[in-house]
Amino acid sequence: MTSTNEITIPGGRLHYEVRGDGPLLLAMGSPMAADAFAPLADALASRFTVVTHDPRGISRSPLDDPDEDSSPEKRAEDVVALLDHLGAETADVFGSSGGAMTTLALAARHPGRVRTLVAHEPPALTLLPDAAEQHAEVDEIVNAFETEGLEAAWAKFLGTSGFEDDEAGPPPSDSPEQDLEDGRRFFVHELRTTTRYEPRLDALRDGPFRVVVGLGADSGGLLTRRTCAALADELGVPVTEFPGDHGGFIWDPEGFAKLLDDILL
């Protein structure tokens, strides 16, 4: 059974969902909303209390000011507010893509709130030797959205990230208007701040939590292969191979859940 609710956060509201019973596990993305993690949460619900949420400004988590930028730091504070609301001192956290950047900020800013941090394919471009060139590519993606629209921006984003030519952006929802608004949020108010976030490496090395850096088995051609390797090298941990590619938790939730079981229990 899934329960849904919302809490007030600075400047808006945060939609969240709870499944299962057991140790608390927060699973999050950015810009991916809770729905993307539903199959994984269902697969884990017999062993964990799994909490998913729509990140600020996305889908069912509206902001008072829709032009306010998002950032890993702001999203991390939203996660702390969610933990406080749930009455939880600590939790295991799994974040993918921009959500992985959220978890890195969370652990660095609030080390006592995290038990194990699983960062799956974080786009930590600042750790790359060609970071300036990569940031310029991000600027071009944002410009593509502003001048050519959502489809062109997704095409450029996917090409720059290393996906195959025939791969598309996220599957459309029942609301084209919401898809456009979520795309606007991502490209205009989130992509730059997420990829320009500099992980606090000393805090991540010295914290009381465990850090796992995850990369999809089929993600060898993606830019995140390089960012995962750079982050793991900085932290002195191995890169852990997960099923599938960047969205492996969507396409193989059972395989993903089994590996998270092995890591967390």
**Within a domain: 225:** yes
- Tell me how far the alpha carbon of residue 120 is from its chain's centroid: 8
Please check the confidence at residue 178 and state whether its pLDDT lies above 80.
Answer: yes
Strands 91-96 and 49-53, sheet pairing: unpaired
Domain annotation covers residue 93: yes
Rounded CA separation 194/74 (Å)? 11
State the angle between helix axes of 176-189 and 131-148 in degrees (0 to 180), rounded to the nearest 10: 140
Domain that holds residue 214: 2-129+197-264
Q: Quick check: is 148 in a domain?
A: no
pLDDT band at 166; cut points 50, 70, 90: low
175 within domain boundaries: no
Consecutive H or E run containing 171: none
User: Are the CB atoms for 80 and 105 separated by under 8 Å?
Assistant: no
Regarding pTM above 0.95, the answer is: yes
Domain membership of residue 165 (yes or no) is no
CA atoms within 13 A on the CB side of 60: 14
180-200 residue pLDDT tens = 999 999 999 999 999 999 999
DSSP sequence for 194-217: HHT----HHHHHHSSSEEEEEEET
Confirm whether 105 is domain-assigned: yes
Q: Is the pLDDT of residue 246 over 80?
A: yes
pLDDT tens digits, one per residue of 130-160: 999 999 999 999 999 999 999 999 999 999 9
| Average pLDDT score over residue span 104-111 | 98
What is the predicted pLDDT for the residue at 174? Answer: 75
Phi, psi dihedrals of residue 149, rounded to the nearest 5°: 105, 180
Q: Residue 177 falls within a domain, yes or no?
A: no
Whether the CB-CB separation of 128 and 122 falls below 8 Å is answered with no
Is 230 part of a structural domain of the chain? Answer: yes
Residue 168, pLDDT > 90, answer no
> Any idea what the CATH number is for the domain that residue 205 is in?
3.40.50.1820
State the total domains in the chain: 1
Q: In what order do the strands lie in the sheet with 239-242?
A: 2-9, 12-20, 49-53, 24-28, 91-96, 114-120, 210-216, 239-242
